[in-house]
Amino acid sequence: MTRNGPLALAYHTLFIAFILAPILIVCWVAFTPLGYLSIPIEAFSLRWFRAIGDYPEFVTAFWSSIALAALSSTVAIGLSVPAAFAVARHRFPGRDAITALSRSAPPTLPCSGASRCH
Amino acid sequence: MNSRALPYLLSAPALLLFVGVVLIPIAMTVVLSFDDWSMTRGIIAEFTLKNWHEVFSDSYFYGIFFRTLRLALIVTVITAVFGAPEAYVLNRMRRPWKGVFLLIVLAPLLISVVARTLGWALLFGGQTGLINKSLLALGVIATPIPFMFTETGVIIALSHVLIPFMVLAVWTALQRLDPQVENAARSLGAAPAVALYRVVLPQVMPGVLSGAIIVFALAASAFATPAIIGGRRLKVASTLAYDEFLNTLNWPLGATVATLLLIALVAIIVGANRLIERRYAQVFQ
């Protein structure tokens, strides 16, 4: 009764294909030996992976991304864990406002630098 | 330490950050929307309703706001129609598949918008896109499906990145559901489809609706995806505000557009929340 039938699994396969298609095609195209984008790619090559090493701007940008991610997640955890603790363990005036803000604000705000952008 | 002050001390850092990086910039944006602007003098700090009058009197702005909300609504419906069944299928899977596929479903959120959008462009872009090429070769279509700079493209790409939110919301609702209820419906003679439609669906509806609110809000305020796929030709409210800020340099007008989008979204979301909570009051108790 709790097993998925063939129809459900077929739907699931299509759904997963939809989710992965644009991601996998980018990975695939990364192996092209050509200097321009062309699909399907004719031969496999690591040319562009080697090129990363000769492209200092890319390497710097990569480390900046890692540093930013580490720093911002550390700050976010450091600030939000005490607040979550306060909300979970204490009853105080303004508690509801804090939970409402933290839950509703990020998705409601237009992408003006304050919220995540899609 | 005084136990009364403790919760405030614990939440103060997060609240201060929230005030500093969210509330103050928004307040400044609202104030800016009442400033004057001229081509030669830039921003003039004088109170005026000029920008608001301009936005409300020009059909160009109506068109863009209407498009933004229409796209967000279509994306919301698509994610609900396709995401809810996927959540149901996922919920019935066994370990380890459940976890593996949940992670795959979340994949669009974990990947940079640029890589994701480039992927869609490779699949659909012009004559050379993989899907267009195959469909043309098979004779299914006579001309390539236009994707870049079209609403279809923005809708597909936004649905792709926002559907995880819908799957998660419906999945959460399904987890609260006793699987025996569906079995009971079956044993009382309901066909599988009837049990699904009349027993499972009404109970997960609050999940679908709360997912819909998140997806709608994120789709209407989305910036990067419509900016890359829609480009200059297909503007939505957030890309319009961006253009006013960075291309025309008319900051007050951009601020007006941003403020109006914020007001519209908050009104729609608060209204929808009220309706849902009233309609499904028994579920939230």
Mean pLDDT of A77-86: 90
* φ, ψ of residue B37 in degrees (nearest 5): -150, 140
Lowest mean pLDDT segment, chosen from A33-47, A96-110, B222-236:
A96-110
| pLDDT tens digit sequence for B27-61 | 999 999 998 887 777 777 888 888 899 889 999 99
Q: Residue B17: which residues within 8 A CB-CB, separation 6 or more?
A: A79
pLDDT of the residue at B138: 83
> What domains lie within chain B, and their CATH numbers?
60-284 (1.10.3720.10)
Cβ contact B115–A23 (<8 Å) = yes
Per-residue pLDDT of B197-206, as tens digits, reads: 888 888 899 8
What is the model's pLDDT at position B126? 63
Q: pLDDT > 90: what percent of chain A?
A: 33
Q: How far, in Å, CA of B214 to CA of A99, rounded?
A: 16
pLDDT score recorded for residue A2: 65
Residue A94: list chain B partners with CB under 8 A: 8
Distance of CA B228 to the CA centre of its chain: 16
- Determine whether the interchain pair A23/B120 forms a contact, defined as Cβ–Cβ distance below 8 Å: no
pLDDT (0 to 100) of residue B236 = 92
* pLDDT at res. A105: 54
Residue A58 CA from chain centroid, whole number? 19
Q: Which amino acid is at B167?
A: V
ipTM: 0.86
CA atoms within 13 A of residue B126's CA, in its CB half-sphere: 6
- The CA-based angle B81-B174-A22, given to 5 degrees, is 45
- Is the model's pLDDT at A114 over the cut of 50? no
Reported as a single tens digit per residue, the pLDDT across B88-141 is: 999 989 889 999 999 999 999 888 888 888 888 888 776 667 777 778 888 777
The strand ranges marked E within B203-249 are none
pLDDT digits (tens, 9 = 90+) for B210-233: 899 989 999 999 998 999 888 878
Q: Residue B36 in 3-state DSSP?
A: strand
pLDDT tens digits, one per residue of B237-252:
999 999 888 888 888 9
The predicted structure's pLDDT at residue A20: 94
With a CB-CB cutoff of 8 Å, which residues 23-82 of chain A face chain B?
A: 23-26, 29, 37-40, 78-80, 82
Mutation site, A112, A115, A117, interface B, largest B CB count within 10 A: A112
Amino acid at B107: A
Say which of A19, A98, A105 has its CB closest to residue B22. Answer: A105
Provide, rounded to the nearest whole percent, the portion of chain B with pLDDT above 70: 96
* Residue A92 backbone zone (phi > 0: left; psi -120 to 50: alpha; other: beta): beta
B145: left (phi over 0), alpha (psi -120 to 50) or beta: beta
CB neighbour list of residue B94: distance below 8 Å, 6 or more residues apart: none
pLDDT at A115 over 80: no
Answer yes or no: do B161 and A118 touch at CB < 8 A.
Answer: yes
Q: What is the DSSP code (8-state) at residue B264?
A: H
pTM: 0.86
pLDDT at A40: 67
Tokens of B18: 């929230």
Q: Which of B129, B160, B223 sits opposite A111 (nearest CB)?
A: B223
Largest CA distance in chain B: 77
